[in-house]
Structure 1
Amino acid sequence: MKELFDFILRFGNLNQQQMDFIAGKAMELTLPKEEYFSEAGKVAKQVGFVVNGILRVCYYNNKSEEITKYFIEENNLVVDLESFDNQICSSAYVQAVTDCKLIVFERKDWLELLQTIVGFDAIVHKIISRALMQKVERRSPLVTEDATTRYLKFLEIYPTAVNRIPLSYVASYLGVTQSSLSRIRKNIRL
C-alpha cells in the first residue's frame, strides 16, 4: 500500500483519514503471467495500481494480428479508461506480461472515493493527464523513426523491462517482425 500512496502523493495531498479510507476500499490482486486484467468485448470494472510486474495493452487488427500498443510497469495506474468511465465494451486487452501484483479498486468503490474525498478527483485528473502525455511521447517516435531507432527508444523508455518482456511483444510494439528485431539487437551489441 505504501507504493500506492507514494505514487498518489506525487500529484496532490491527502490526510491520514483520507488515506485510511482509500486503503479500506483497496484489494490486493495477484495476476499470473498471461492472464487478463481486462478484455476486449467486456466492460472494464476495476482501476489497478501495479505494485510488481508488467502489463501490456494489445488488440487484434483487421488481419487478426496481435498488436501491442504499450506496456505498463510498476508504480503506474492501469485501467481501460474509456470502457471504465463510459461503461462501454473495451476494444483492447490488458494482459499480464509477467506475474503481477496489483492493488485494485472496484468501480463503485473508485467512484465513492472520487465523490467523498475532497480534491481526489483533481489528483486523479493529474495522474490521467500524465499517463496520456507519456503515451503520446512514447508512441510518436514509433511512427516516424526507423526500426533501430525505435528499438533504442524502447530501451530508453522501458530500461528495466526489456529483459522481462518476450521478444514477440517487443517486436509487435515496434511494428517489426521478430527476426528483424533479432537482427537489430545483434547489430546493436556489435
Structure 2
Amino acid sequence: MKQLFDFILRFGNLNQQQIDFIASKATEIVIPKDEYFSEAGKTARRVGFIIDGIMRVCYYNNQGEEVTKYFIEENNLVVDLESFDNEIPSSAYVQAVTDCTLIIFSRKDWLELLQTIVGWETIVHKIISRALMQKVERRSPLVSEDATTRYLKFLEIYPTVVNRIPLSYIASYLGVTQSSLSRIRKNIR
C-alpha cells in the first residue's frame, strides 16, 4: 500500500483520514502471467495500481495479428480508461506479461472516492495526463524510425522491461518479426 500512496502523493496532498478511506477501498490481488486484467469486448470495471510485474495493452488487427500497443510497469495505474469511464466494451486487452501484484479498486469504489475526497479528481486528472504524455512520448519516436533505431529507443524507454518479457511482445510492439528482432539484437551486441 505504501507504493500506491507514494505514487499518489506525487500528484497532490491527502490527509490521513483520506488516505485511510482510500486504503479501505483497495484490494490487493495477484494476476498470473498471461491472464487478463481486462478484455476486448467487455466493459472495464476496475482500476489497478501495479506493485510488481509488467502488463501490456494489445489488440488484434484486421488480419487477426496480435499487436502490442504499450507496456505498463511497476508504480503505474492500469485501466482501460475509455471503457471504464464511458461504460462501453473495450477494444483492447490488458494482459499480465509477468506474474503481477496489483492494488485494485472496483468502479463503484473508485466513483465513491471521486465523490467523497476533495481534490481526488484533480490528482486523478494529473495522473491520467502524465500517462497520456508518456504514451505519446514513447510512441512518437518509433513511428518514422528504422527497426534498429526503434529497438534502441525501446531500450531507452523501457530499461527494466527488456529482459523480463518475451521477445515476441517486443517485436509486436516495434512492428517487426521476431527473426528481424533477433538479427537486430545480434548486430547491436
Please give the TM-score of this superposition, normalised by the length of structure 1: 0.99
Matches of 1:102 and 1:67, distance apart in 2: 24
* 1:44-83 superposed matches below 5 A: 44-83=44-83
Ranges of 4+ aligned residues in structure 1 off by more than 3 Å = none
Query: Are 2:7 and 1:19 aligned?
Result: no
Unaligned runs of 5+ in 1: none
Identify the residue that residue 99 of structure 1 maps to in structure 2.
99
Identify the residue that residue 112 of structure 1 maps to in structure 2.
112
Matches of 1:93 and 1:85, distance apart in 2: 16
Matches of 2:114 and 2:44, distance apart in 1: 17
Q: Give the Å deviation of 1:33.
A: 0.1
Identity rate of aligned residues, in percent? 85
* 1:35-184 superposed matches below 5 A: 35-184=35-184
Please give the TM-score of this superposition, normalised by the length of structure 2: 1.00
Identify the residue that residue 187 of structure 1 maps to in structure 2.
187
AA aligned opposite 2:7? F
Q: Give the Å deviation of 1:132.
A: 0.2
Q: Give the Å deviation of 1:142.
A: 1.4
AA aligned opposite 2:54? I
Matches of 1:148 and 1:137, distance apart in 2: 18
Q: Give the Å deviation of 1:178.
A: 0.3
